[in-house]
Amino acid sequence: MTTELRWGTSELTVLLGWDDDGPVRLLDLELPGDAPRPPGRAALPLVELETIGTGRTGTSGKRHVDGTAAARLRYAGHKERADADWRELVVESADPATGLRVTARLRLHGGLPVLRCWAEVTAGREAVTVEYLSSFVFSGLAARVRGHWEEGLRLHLAANPWSGEFRWSEATLAQRGLYDVGMVRYDQTGSKNRVAVTSTGAWSTAEHQPMGCVTDAETGRALMWQIEHNGAWHAEFGDRYDDVYLALSGPTDREHAWRARLQPGESFTGVPAAVAVVPGGGFEAAVAAMTRYRRALLRPHPDHDLLPVVFNDFNNCLMSDPSTAAILPLAEAAARAGAEYYCVDAGWYADSDGWWDAVGEWEESAVRFPGGLKEVTDRIRALGMVPGLWLEPEVVGVRSPLARTLPDEAFFRRDGERVAQWGRYQLDLRHPAARSHLDRVVDRVVADYGLGYLKLDYNIDIGPGTGDIPGAGLLGHNRALLDWLDAVLDRHPGLIIESCAAGGSRSDYATLARLPIHSLTDQQDHRNLPPIAVAAPAAVLPEQGAMWAYPQAEFGVDETGLALVPALLGRVHLSGRVDRLSPAQLALVRAAVDAYKSYRARLRTAVPRWPLGLPGWRDPWAALALDCADGHRVVVFRRDSDEHRRELPFPELRGHDAVVTRVFDAAGDAEARWDAESGVLTVGLPRPGSAVLLHLVPIR
């Protein structure tokens, strides 16, 4: 006899079931109005677990389901907790033979159809080595799909190449390579195939975003997921008994050389994951739910209210070659342009350009700053801006004196040798010497220069990790880094810390739940900014995603507009040689910045949508709309297109009048016309390589 437990909120209900001779299984994720899901063999354990000596059953192939250790678990109890914002269900399971215990934690934020979950395993009477521990696993994606699931289910995934981030693509499971091969009727689980997305190494998003979305093409029902980890992770889809499963985890043995060796009584906790489930609306509705959930994760910080305009002197500007002589005129121009913070980027610590493999001490260069760096930061402050600095805290150059004075144990090592990548060693923040060094650096520069901003970068990928079990060493460092960031913010609660890793290579919500602002890209060609800026809000909150705006003296009016508009529905990272702009050009920049300041507070509750769909890398037109409390703000880009106009549908506004305002139109000749009968906004841009920011306000 199966015992069932329904737990949840009015927005989402989790259905669990167990019997005397099987594990607790996740039977369904129910939404209001759902018909009961028919019982079947496809339901998987609430937590999948693999240990050395048990492995998986023979029918699972390389897939991380049907683990023998998970099948041996039995229900051992549950308890519920609640506070003002969150509800939590804790489910305990145990292996009667060994005493091994697994604790599953499920959390729901009030009013959101988003489940956050993770698991913890504790060794029982025997030592155990864990090779895989799921964060979330559910076989029910095809249960409500009519027809063949390989055509009825569409999967959105986001590649994340350097300087071309947030490359979302949509395809059926068949197009992704997963089919119903007809073997279930012969009592086989299915095809043994999987669609797997894996991130290896220390950059969590250098290859793929740790998220995706599966939608029912007919009904628009959707499940969106994200793995909240700043290191290696794994996600896979597969077929199983006429259904489709999704399994999410942090690092694994097979993919990442990770294992957890546990003595009796010792525990290991996996990484969190979150899933949003919506009954219709497809990808956009799932993003809307996940957007609201991400806001619930954020660590409180003054920056969430301020959203200041930051001038950073790196991209298409000083390019890591700062000096007193170069910065002072830039700071004057940045202040006139409306910047509120000025961040001195890389190079401030080096006497020459050949500093890449000598970094680590983070002491100012007397050659670059003969009057001291404080002369520069004092001048920035006198101009009405808050000074900031760039740091790359996790690395030490092989030529740095620190490479000789810090102990070997403070660095990543494999087979007893320090690991070097591109002339740098990687600090292991589990070691007290590494952590105390960084604490001294941060506290010193904040105090000495009166900093209000730190840009923390990370420009190497150190590989699988450190120690005898490299993946375990990397995971330990990842968690120590997050702990260090928390401690820095505890000591300096008003300090704005920017997340950056070779552009957008750490766009994960383990990092972004802590740090208020995030660098989206290193892209230097302003013509390539639109697809990045338009797609980014599916993965990063608008009020966190910082986009470059780097006008140049040689730009015409359209080019200046195209360089500025991509940043206007996110965080503005002003750059470029603004000190060389003409008065008319600088006035245009100031107009864009002033326009941004007039509505930026609305970004904190805005929800993205894509009237032209998610952009391809070379799409001739691209558009992003943010649904705000006071209407819809829309950026539209005409890239390389012979078309002068595009129609942007807003179907929910059909039949309603609306007012359209051009908020920022560099050339002043963009067209915008609203048709209430069709619910379509027609936008005209006379020339390729131009952009406009609009405000669409319905009259209800």
- Amino acid occupying residue 108: L
pLDDT digits 0-9 by tens, 567-620: 999 999 999 999 999 999 999 999 999 999 999 999 999 999 999 999 999 999
Question: 358: left (phi > 0), else alpha (psi -120 to 50), else beta?
Answer: alpha
Q: What percentage of the chain carries pLDDT values higher than 70?
A: 99
Contact 561, 667 (CB under 8 A): yes
Handedness of CA 320, 325, 328, 334 (dihedral sign): negative
- Amino acid occupying residue 340: E
Strand 222-227, strand 208-216: pairing = antiparallel
| pLDDT higher than 80, residue 676 | yes
- The confidence score (pLDDT) of residue 60 equals 65
Rounded to an integer, what distance in angstroms lies between the CA atom of residue 161 and that of residue 621? 21
Across the range 494-516, mean pLDDT stands at: 97
Rounded to an integer, what distance in angstroms lies between the CA atom of residue 585 and that of residue 555? 9
Contacts of 313 (CB under 8 A, 6+ apart): 322, 326, 327, 330, 342, 343, 344, 345, 575
Tokens of 685: 């841009």
Average pLDDT along the chain: 96
Asked: is 609-699 a CATH 2.60.40 domain? The reply is yes
Rounded to an integer, what distance in angstroms lies between the CA atom of residue 359 and that of residue 675? 58
CATH class of 308-393+432-455+481-605: alpha beta
Tokens of 494: 């008003």
Tokens of 675: 């048709």
| pLDDT higher than 70, residue 58 | no
Across the range 221-243, mean pLDDT stands at: 97
Rounded to an integer, what distance in angstroms lies between the CA atom of residue 573 and that of residue 290? 25
pLDDT digits 0-9 by tens, 176-196: 999 999 998 888 888 989 999
Helix, strand and coil percent figures for the chain, each rounded to 5: 25, 35, 40
- The confidence score (pLDDT) of residue 333 equals 98
pLDDT digits 0-9 by tens, 316-362: 999 999 999 999 999 999 999 999 999 999 999 999 889 999 999 99
Side-chain-side CA neighbours of residue 16 (13 Å): 23
Q: What are phi and psi of 30, to 5 degrees?
A: -100, 140
Rounded to an integer, what distance in angstroms lies between the CA atom of residue 698 and that of residue 653? 7
| pLDDT higher than 70, residue 59 | no
Across the range 152-173, mean pLDDT stands at: 98
Across the range 127-152, mean pLDDT stands at: 96
Would you give the DSSP letter of residue 553?
T
- The confidence score (pLDDT) of residue 154 equals 98
SS3 labels along 100-123: CEEEEEEEEECCCCEEEEEEEEEC
Closest residue by Cα to residue 52 from 261, 363, 228:
261
Q: What is the DSSP string of 117-178?
A: EEEEEE--SS-EEEEEEEEEEEE-TTTT--S-HHHHEEEEEEE--TTS--EEEEEEHHHHT-
Torsion of CA 635, 641, 642, 645, to 10 degrees: -20
Contacts of 205 (CB under 8 A, 6+ apart): 160, 165, 199, 504, 505, 506, 507, 508
Contact 337, 574 (CB under 8 A): yes
pLDDT-derived band at 57 (thresholds 50, 70, 90) equals confident
Q: What percentage of the chain carries pLDDT values higher than 90?
A: 94
Beta partners for residue 572, in sequence order: 547
Same fold, 3-297 and 609-699: no
Q: Which CATH number among 1.10.8.870, 3.40.710.10, 2.70.98.60, 3.20.20.370 corresponds to the domain 3-297?
A: 2.70.98.60
Rounded to an integer, what distance in angstroms lies between the CA atom of residue 683 and that of residue 671? 6
| pLDDT higher than 90, residue 258 | yes
Give the domain ranges of the chain: 3-297, 308-393+432-455+481-605, 609-699
CA–CA distances in Å: residue 134 to residues 127, 174, 449: 20, 25, 45
pLDDT digits 0-9 by tens, 654-664: 999 999 999 99
Side-chain-side CA neighbours of residue 685 (13 Å): 32
